Amino acid sequence: MMADAADARSTADRVGLDIALGPAAATVLERVLGILAARADLSVDSVSDVLLASDTLATAARHIDGDRLELELMVAPGRLDIVAGPFANGGAQALLDERRVGDVPILSRLADELVVEDDRLRISFRG
């Protein structure tokens, strides 16, 4: 089992991305994250979840310090991790709380794991 984890880490790629949050942000995020989700060999359902999550990230402007969203993306077989920020104080949690379908936050339905880490939000997709 340990060899599998080591193999996954050795084949992982990291990508840094800095996006201006303007009119084109949603399109750029959707394309980049969709390509990386496909590269991670995620299932069609998981790729669809990543594309829907990209819409939420594109609306992050009011919760960001400044006008740029920094992303650190890790792509490994069967996994895509997105670390987004820097968020203003409480901004990452506010983003999670405000985007809802009914009473259910959207990202919690889409992602396999969500973690608020200081001024960053980590979103993980598997499968």
Three-class SS state of 34: helix
Task: Report domain 2-126's class.
Answer: alpha beta
DSSP 75-111: EETTEEEEEEEPBPTTHHHHHHHHSEETTEEHHHHH-
pLDDT digits (tens, 9 = 90+) for 98-113: 866 666 678 888 999 9
pTM: 0.85
Confidence of residue 2 (pLDDT cuts 50, 70, 90): very low
Give the mean pLDDT of the chain.
Answer: 87
What residues does each domain of the chain span? 2-126
